[in-house]
Amino acid sequence: MTTHPTLADLARRVSADRNHPAFGHDALITCDRLVRVFTADGVEVQALQGLDLLVREGELMALVGASGSGKSTLMNILAGLDTPTAGAARVAGRDLLTMTAKDRLAYRREVVGFVWQQTARNLLPYLTSAQNVALPMRLRGGRGRAARRASAERALELLDLLEVADCRDRRPHEMSGGQQQRVAIAVALANEPSVLLADEPTGELDSHTAEQIFAAFRTANERLGTTIVIVTHDQAVASEVRRTVAIRDGRTSTEVLRRSEVDEATGHETLVAREYAMLDRAGRLQLPAEYTQALGMRDRVALELEPDHIAVRPDDSDHG
Ligand SMILES: Nc1ncnc2c1ncn2[C@@H]1O[C@H](COP(=O)(O)OP(=O)(O)O)[C@@H](O)[C@H]1O
Ligand SMILES: [Mg+2]
């Protein structure tokens, strides 16, 4: 006879897990209860309200969420441009809360690369594409002629990889928005960062061009192994990555994972999506509004522990 664990057994297991020190120990990006409060004119805005996020090395993932939900705040923190008010954030072994100013500068130059929505923010207007891409390598070090030649060579390789080699001698205003963003990706990849961050990189582009930009990110991820986090409003982009995390009110709320399934009869491959809710370490869970509204759930729900799942039912008490 098999016996199901008792609630006491489960509780013991849970408390053992919670004492485990290794939240995100094997992740490249770890955000643990991240908080960012802005104060403007004496008014406090809680842009991040205890956000948890783990990103594994080699992932290509998307962050989505309504305007004002805290996406850019998170990206600025991960980029080393802003510091969180509380919580923990680690990227590639760096603690983003305790870094010195000097560490922060090295972090921005060597550990992360970023691509912003405004094409004009990504490139220096008076430099050609090849010069823009070589610049971060030259700033990092190497003044000699050999170093200069190596930077120039790698710049051309990157432009070639992103299919904008023909733009090598053009300045930003001589290129389309899509070409500029691909050059911007090459600039961001110049110093072989562990993480590439992109905040709405296709926001100013039409859907066909946006697709090409997304293909460029995919190339970088597959060919160079770079871990990539893309904030996007574009549902087409979001549905092409294996993992999409939704941010709501400064917290990660739900997550969609897609895996490819091959139809045995036709050999056709399709991506099958499944939605998950995030369970934080205190056990808090956010149910999607579509689900709770469909069953008229509010204020209080009934929970039942079953052998392999937890049932959540509408409040059926008389006090409801
Ligand atoms: N520098 C700032 N000063 C004050 N409030 C800010 C600042 N940056 C962002 N916020 C506020 O924080 C919230 C989240 O903003 P943001 O991260 O830009 O959202 P998103 O990128 O998802 O649209 C918003 O309410 C925004 O007004
Ligand atoms: Mg934003």
Angstrom CA distances, 16 to 9, 24, 284, 290, stand at 11, 16, 18, 34
**pLDDT on residue 267:** 85
Residue nearest to atom 24 of ligand 1 (CA): 68
Query: Which residues, other chains included, contact 276 with Cβ-Cβ below 8 Å and sequence gap of 6+?
Result: 254, 255, 256, 257
**pLDDT on residue 320:** 46
Domains of the chain with CATH codes: 26-286 (3.40.50.300), 287-319 (no CATH)
The amino acid occupying position 98 is T
Instruction: Give the residue from 257, 222, 223, 262 showing the smallest Cα distance to 242.
Output: 257
Angstrom CA distances, 231 to 130, 234, 260, 275, 296, stand at 26, 9, 23, 18, 32
**pLDDT on residue 184:** 96
Tens digit of pLDDT at every position of the chain (320 positions): 455 666 666 556 555 554 454 566 779 999 999 999 999 888 999 999 999 999 999 999 999 999 999 999 999 999 999 999 999 999 999 999 999 999 999 999 899 999 988 877 889 999 999 999 999 998 887 678 888 888 999 999 999 999 999 999 999 999 999 999 999 999 999 999 999 999 999 888 888 899 899 999 999 999 999 999 999 988 777 788 889 999 999 998 888 898 888 888 888 887 788 888 888 777 888 888 888 999 999 889 999 999 999 999 998 887 64
Dist CA 209 CA 197 (whole Å):
19
Break the chain down into helix, strand, coil percent, rounded to 5: 35, 30, 35
The amino acid occupying position 3 is T
Nearest ligand (C-alpha, residue 116): 2
Residues having CB within 6 Å of any atom of ligand 1: 38, 40, 45, 47, 65, 67-73
